[in-house]
Amino acid sequence: MDPEEALFEVEEAMTKCVDYLIHEFAGVRTGKASPALIENIDVHVHAYGAVSK
C-alpha cells in the first residue's frame, strides 16, 4: 500500500467518524442538567474487563 492510498483510507475513516460525532452531538440539549444526557454512555473498565452503563 502506497502512502497516498493509506492517507485516502484514513481520511475516509475520519470523515465517517466526524459525521457520526456530529450526529451524536445533534441530540445533546443544553440547559438544565438531566440524567438522560448521560444514560447511553458506556464506561469501559479495563481493570475488570467489563462494560458498565
Cα 16 to Cα 23: distance, rounded to the nearest angstrom? 11
Proportion of the chain above pLDDT 90, given as a percent: 36
Cβ atoms of 42 and 51 within 8 Å: the answer is yes
Give pLDDT, residue 50.
Answer: 58
pLDDT over 80 (residue 52): no
Q: Where are the domains of the chain?
A: 3-52
Cβ atoms of 21 and 27 within 8 Å: the answer is no
